[in-house]
Amino acid sequence: MALKSTVYKIQLQVSNLNNHYYAEHLLSVACHPSESSLRMLARVLAFAVHADERLQFGRGLSEVEDAALWLKDDTGLVKLWVEMGNPSVDRIKWLRGKADSFAVYSYQESAQIWWQKNAEALQQLKHCQFYLLPEELLKQQAEAIGRQTNLHIMLSEQSVMITGDLNFEFELQRLDQA
């Protein structure tokens, strides 16, 4: 019998001072059995950075044709594709053709090595953003996240402040602007 995903109900309040976006989102985030709570929390943080009423979570790890997050317009065209981890350059190029813009959120210890190895090729891609999330801090916080969680995430320039059931702050690092 296949293991089922764990569903997290997250009441997310986003205050993005950079984009003047202020809204509440009631999220049902499915965490695949092979997905870590660290990756799930990274997806929620990426959601907050790109928050929009049309932003959606993809169907999960087993669906290679789906994004971790994507924003589609009213016609179904993908305006934003968000990937997690350290995807290959070939995968990014392939996926980049499916959306107007593209973002990658790396949260693993190996992200710096991945970036150094691939930076030259990745920086040539237009409308792509590459972020690094603080792995150790997120690991600590992910262990404390409950199945029903209330989060308020405020973004101001590169500063990300999380309050509510979790409380922490970090600087969002853009790898392609370092």
Position 67 in a domain: yes
Domain residues for the domain of 125 are 6-35+42-158+167-177
Position 71 in a domain: yes
pTM for this prediction: 0.93
| CA angle centred on 7, ends 105 and 161, rounded to 5° | 45
pLDDT tens string 50-88: 999 999 998 766 666 789 999 999 999 999 999 999 999
What does the alpha-carbon distance between residue 158 and residue 10 come to, in Å, rounded to a whole number?
23
Q: Residue 14: its pLDDT value, please?
A: 98
| CA angle centred on 176, ends 173 and 178, rounded to 5° | 60
Q: Residue 107: its pLDDT value, please?
A: 94
Position 13 in a domain: yes
Q: Residue 48: its pLDDT value, please?
A: 97
CATH number at residue 24: 3.10.640.10
Q: Residue 54: its pLDDT value, please?
A: 96
Among residues of the chain, what percentage have pLDDT more than 90?
81
Position 171 in a domain: yes
Between 43 and 4, name the one with better pLDDT.
43
Position 1 in a domain: no
Q: Residue 104: its pLDDT value, please?
A: 96
Q: Is 85 strand, coil or helix?
A: coil
pLDDT tens string 105-143: 999 889 999 999 999 999 999 999 999 999 999 999 999
Judged against a pLDDT cut of 90, whether residue 4 lies above it is answered with no
Position 141 in a domain: yes
Distance from chain centroid for Cα 122 = 18
Tokens, residue 78: 């993908």
Number of domains in the chain: 1
Position 47 in a domain: yes
On whether the CB atoms of residues 107 and 136 are closer than 8 A, the answer is no
Which amino acid is present at 6?
T
Among residues of the chain, what percentage have pLDDT more than 70?
96
